[in-house]
Amino acid sequence: MAFLAIINLMMVVALSPLVFELMRDYKAQKDRGESPIFYTKNITYTLPEDNKWGDEDYRKDSSKEDK
């Protein structure tokens, strides 16, 4: 059990810079009055080359739903 706890704590520490950067980006978008959406270009944290996060906008277009 202690071994699993140590591994989990190591991963929390390793991922915390990314999490804090994502939270800063989220808060900045909210403060500007925008609907927050994740774009990889907004963060400086180096993501792996094979990441699946693209910069496509996945929000639904509300004008299409009204028709």
Tens of pLDDT along 8-64? 999 999 989 989 999 999 999 999 999 988 887 888 877 777 766 666 665 665 455
- Whether 11 is covered by a domain: the verdict is yes
Residue 46: helix, strand or coil by DSSP? coil
Number of domain units in the chain:
1
What does the alpha-carbon distance between residue 37 and residue 17 come to, in Å, rounded to a whole number?
19
User: In this structure, what token pair is assigned to residue 3?
Assistant: 């071994």
pLDDT tens readout for residues 51-60 = 666 666 656 6
Structural domain boundaries, residue 12: 1-45
CB 36 within 8 Å of CB 58: no
- Whether 66 is covered by a domain: the verdict is no
pTM beyond 0.85: no
